[in-house]
Chain A
Amino acid sequence: MSIDRRKFLGVAAGASALVLAGKASVDALAIGSQPKQGGTLANTRWAMVIDPSKCLKDKGCTACIAACDKVHNIPDFKNPKHAVKWIWKEPFKDAFPGQEDEYTTEQYKDKPFILMCNHCNNPPCVRVCPTQATFRREDGIVMMDWHRCIGCRYCMAACPYGSRSFNWLDPRPHIAHLDTDFPTRTKGVVEKCTFCEERLARGEGPACVEACEAKAMVFGNLDDPDSEVRQLLKARFSIRRNPELGTQPEIYYLV
């Protein structure tokens, strides 16, 4: 007889002891569930390599942003002060402040760069979160548990990359098409890119990566020496945003 069965029979019979408190029942249920299929979290370290030279953004392509907005029910508040953004573009000098000089290659100087949460190895946002709503998974994804977010915005203050957005208003009326597979957020909650962890769980890649026709974005496991990301980083020189801060971003830009 499984522990579940015993538990249910116990409840059904109405016989329960004081010590069997709520926590115990949750634990009992947890045993009945399985880790997701595929590799275990332990030997995975998700990262993304972006080749700005391939990006068609200066030609007006917004495929990656549109794809992200669509699958994550990201609201469009119109008012830039209220903007919620998971993935967005920024000129070089703003994306890599201090790294530009008057001789920066023309190719980069005016070229917009695709930015998103860096999923830092040493994430300051995680350290400041008072409820552990933001936490770092073993596979390197800096994850958000929106159920726990109390809207204190410490994480927004801590993030040096401006990767986080706050819902100043109820987002629902501002979402063009509700996707029932993904929750919305509520007023007073912080949100950001999660590397499409819900798609990774289904064995799919991040929505932005799939949407990019130019293949400017490559996603993969850094712990796997044969992965495409590892090969790219080996072959070419890359930079990361604000390396001097010691946050160890997992988004690499090829130069």
Chain B
Amino acid sequence: MNALLSLIVVLVLGALAYVGGSVEGLRTLFGVIIPYAAILTFLVGVAYRVVRWALSPVPFRITTTCGQQKSLPWMKAGYLESPYTTLGVTLRMALEVLLFRSLFRNTKAELRSGPQLVYGENKYLWLAALAFHWSFLIIFLRHLRFFMQPVPAFVNLLSDADGFFQIGAPVLYLTDVFILAALGYLLWRRFRDPQVRYISLFTDYFALFLLIGLAGSGVLMRYFFRPDIVAVKELALGLVTFTPAVPVQVGGLFFVHLFLLSLLIAYFPFSKLMHFAGVFLSPTRNLANNNRAKRHVNPWDYPVKVHTYAEWEEEFHDKIKAAGLPMEKE
């Protein structure tokens, strides 16, 4: 139900853009105004969300340790899984952000009769997530060829590497295949796995369909219904250099692509997609496991009512005395 609804919403929005791209009066809206509004929403929204997180302090050092602590000098410590230093934390975070270390650990548990609980490898989610995110990043960077003039060498290098197999013309980008395959898997997984289907919200499907629509329209444009690429770049450069104009040669599918992108980036700050920034701030991951060596300060600490020794001794005075235990006051 959630899935169907979000599919319909994305399809309607896509159709809206397709029509908007061909109606003269709406081209500026879809080609200039909405993209600018979306970028502004993204920048302000992301900054706002991050600042909100930053304003809430981390009162306690609650590292989730996934390996041996540093203790006795002869005992081998897990410097990545249970980091003791800032360097260790940095490496742990790098593994987490770049390679999805925690997801790599994923297993699946299955209860068989007996009862016998068995565990198996379960790396597909990790693989698909990694394939999606890296492809997305590379595709994003590749798109810089539309936004930068002259095209920087690293962008060309990346495009060359991505099209390494030189299949067809324009050459097939591997990331285009990977991203669609990965998104397809992630969607299929939400449908197939009853547990994941049960927890999936409208927004989960919405984000997926938005991304599939974005990648799909891009793939259609590159391989099947090519727009005038020079005109596309003129539009993109116009946006970046604040001299916006919509060339007459662009329309249709390109507007679908641009609009879905605008929606995605505008949707970012309001959604779970903020995990891209949040992952850096996760206190269970980005803190060293050196609690006992270095005091962590809680900025909002306040005094609490305690039961002091004096009160305690007074309350149990006779009993302490009868037991012959040492006392402050006889």
Which A positions have Cβ atoms within 8 angstroms of B?
14, 16, 18, 20-22
Contact = CB atoms under 8 A, between A and B. Distances in A.
B78 interface: no
Interface residues of B, number: 6
A14 B252 contact: yes
Nearest to B22: A14
Contacts of B48: none
Contacts of B168: 22
Contacts of A20: 224
Contact of A14 (B223, B224, B251): B251
A16 B251 CA distance: 13
A159 to B, nearest CB: 25
B225 interface: yes
Given A20-B224, A22-B224, 6 more contacts: A14-B251, A14-B252, A16-B224, A18-B224, A21-B224, A22-B168
Identify which of B223, B224, B251 gathers the most chain A CB atoms within 10 Å of its CB. Answer: B224
A20 B224 CA distance: 8
11 contacts: A14-B251, A14-B252, A16-B224, A16-B225, A18-B224, A20-B224, A21-B223, A21-B224, A22-B168, A22-B223, A22-B224
Nearest to B225: A16
Interface string B244-261: 000000011000000000
Interface of B: 168, 223-225, 251-252
Q: How would you classify the secondary structure of chain B's contact residues: helix, strand, loop or mixed? A: loop
Contacts of A14: 251-252
B17 to A, nearest CB: 15
Contacts of B223: 21-22
Contacts of A22: 168, 223-224
Contacts of B225: 16
A170 B224 CA distance: 34
Nearest to B250: A14
Contacts of B252: 14
A21 B252 CA distance: 17
A183 to B, nearest CB: 15
A137 to B, nearest CB: 23
A22 B223 CA distance: 7
A251 B225 CA distance: 49
A38 to B, nearest CB: 30
A21 B219 CA distance: 12
A233 B138 CA distance: 62
A201 B168 CA distance: 26
A14 B168 CA distance: 22
Nearest to A147: B166
Nearest to A20: B224
Closest 8 CB pairs of A and B: A16-B225, A21-B224, A22-B224, A22-B223, A14-B252, A14-B251, A22-B168, A16-B224
A20 B225 CA distance: 9
Nearest to A17: B225
A185 to B, nearest CB: 14
Nearest to B166: A147
Contacts of B224: 16, 18, 20-22
Nearest to A25: B224
A21 B225 CA distance: 8
A14 B252 CA distance: 8
Contacts of A18: 224
Identify which of B168, B223, B225, B251 gathers the most chain A CB atoms within 10 Å of its CB. Answer: B225
Nearest to B252: A14
A29 to B, nearest CB: 13
A33 to B, nearest CB: 18
A16 B252 CA distance: 11
Contacts of B251: 14
Contacts of A16: 224-225
A18 B71 CA distance: 64
A14 B248 CA distance: 12
A18 B252 CA distance: 13
A152 to B, nearest CB: 13
A21 B224 CA distance: 6
A22 B251 CA distance: 20
A16 to B, nearest CB: 5
A18 B253 CA distance: 11
